[in-house]
Amino acid sequence: MFLYLAILLFIIALCWYYRKHIREGASELANKMNRLLGYHLLPTNAGSFESDIEDGLTSSHFNLNTNLEEEDSRAGLKDKEEIMRIMKKQNVSFDEARLIRQQKLLKKNNIDPATGLPLDPKFVSF
């Protein structure tokens, strides 16, 4: 009986010690399950252009420093996580990741990424 009690107390102590990791893992698992089911988090004002610049999400073609200089009050880049995921997964620059993301959005909406024209067979152009 004493052995079972000692094992139970040991497990409780381990859970208490690793509670932060357990909480983060459960939160990540819940987020993945929600994405799998088609749920997405609503946009928040948690981001900022400063954090976007620190994360490397700026370039000479897409300069976020001008937003800081003009004291832009928006929350930062939209879909920042998706762009960072593309950068990491495909090992591309920020500009290339933005292009890949935009091309995916166009394809998803049945638009040819090369021409910008709809792929709908009923589309008529003059």
SS (H, E, C) 50-74: HHHHHCCCCCCCCCCHHHHHCCCCC
Q: Which range in 9-13, 55-59, 64-68 is most confidently predicted, on average pLDDT?
A: 9-13
CA distance 54 to 24: 23
On whether both 86 and 111 belong to a single domain, the answer is: yes
How many structural domains does the chain have? Answer: 2
- Rounded to two decimals, what is the model's pTM? 0.56
On whether both 60 and 116 belong to a single domain, the answer is: yes
Give the pLDDT confidence score for residue 8 in this predicted structure: 92
Q: Which pLDDT tens digit goes with each residue over 2-28?
A: 888 999 999 999 888 888 888 888 888
Would you say residue 99 lies in a domain?
yes
Would you say residue 126 lies in a domain?
no
Would you say residue 62 lies in a domain?
yes
On whether both 52 and 114 belong to a single domain, the answer is: yes
Instruction: Answer whether residue 39 shows pLDDT above 60.
Output: yes
On whether both 52 and 106 belong to a single domain, the answer is: yes
Domain limits for position 16 = 1-41
CA distance 42 to 25: 21
Give the pLDDT confidence score for residue 96 in this predicted structure: 92
On whether both 5 and 57 belong to a single domain, the answer is: no
On whether both 106 and 49 belong to a single domain, the answer is: yes
On whether both 8 and 53 belong to a single domain, the answer is: no
Task: Write the single-letter amino acid at 59.
Answer: S
Give the pLDDT confidence score for residue 103 in this predicted structure: 92
Q: Which sign, positive or negative, has the C-alpha torsion 69, 54, 64, 49?
A: negative
On whether both 50 and 88 belong to a single domain, the answer is: yes
On whether both 76 and 101 belong to a single domain, the answer is: yes
Instruction: Answer whether residue 44 shows pLDDT above 60.
Output: no
Would you say residue 125 lies in a domain?
no
